[in-house]
Homo-oligomer: A and B are copies of this chain.
Amino acid sequence: MRRHRPRSSDPHHPRRPRWRRDAPAPRAAPDGAARLSAGAAILYGWHTVKAALENPARRIRHLYATANAARRLAEDGVALPVQPDVVRPDAIARRLGPDAVHNGLLAEADALPSPELEQIEPAGLVLVLDQITDPHNVGAILRTAAAFGVKAVVITARHSPDATGVLAKSASGALEYVPIVTVQNLARALATLRERGYYLVGLDSTGERDLREASLRAPLALVLGAEGKGLRQLTRASCDEVARLELPGRMKTLNVSNAAALALYVASERAN
């Protein structure tokens, strides 16, 4: 397989390191994110990279694949937007750290554009995350949001993880399916959603009534806070109501991605 190498004058490919084929990639910070310019994403793992390759809106800057992974992509009929660099598995592992399950695929890509709230059709469900910082959790939430056909996930510009690395891996391709709307001010975003017809339901263990008894109607925005901290006061005050998930057992709180999954299930049964 021939290497496809953009000219060095290409403004989209500034200072990409010139790895030799089958040579180890230079060691980077875990997740590989530290060496990237703003607006770039590191994507690894079979589902994550395959979904990105199949997304016409995703610009792939560079693709590293093991011979096996490249063959699997060809067998699956995935058209490659760039010629891959065929590398050994340990070259990818060295780039990502020993714990990353990369399945022989690593892509450097442009981050996807973040749409404006006004571009989201006011229908169905949107999910709003109030400063949830853990990339595993945000990735799992995006994946579940895509499974429930959520129209968009709204996150804050500050105190949210970037859509790259561990988050992208945990999302398992969902980055390509669910628009992420990044906002500077969450209270203002919630006001915009209300103006556009959304009913705003915050989730919090101190909520007044069980989510199943809340007034769930589309278009609906479900608002989730970080574990421990919960919803910030202004976020809470901006919701039409705050509901809790009634749990029958001894443990009264859930991992936030598990809570999001249950909330989406309950809401999609009622508000779609």
Contacts and interface: CB of A to CB of B under 8 A. Distances in A.
Contacts of A260: 258
A214 interface: no
Name, among A145, A174, A249, A250, the residue most crowded by chain B CB atoms within 10 Å (CB to CB).
A249
A255 B260 CA distance: 12
A248 B148 CA distance: 5
Contact of A251 (B146, B252, B268): B146
Nearest to A269: B212
Interface string A245-270: 00111111111011011100100100
Interface stretch (A33-41, A136-144, A186-194, A234-242): A136-144
B249 A149 contact: yes
Contacts of A146: 249-251
Contacts of A174: 251
A255 B144 contact: yes
A272 B248 contact: yes
Nearest to A257: B258
Residue among A149, A150, A261 with the highest chain B CB neighbour number at 10 A: A261
Contacts of A272: 248
A48 to B, nearest CB: 12
A177 interface: yes
A66 interface: no
A164 interface: no
B265 A265 contact: yes
Given A147-B252, A261-B261, 6 more contacts: A136-B136, A140-B258, A147-B249, A147-B254, A149-B250, A150-B249
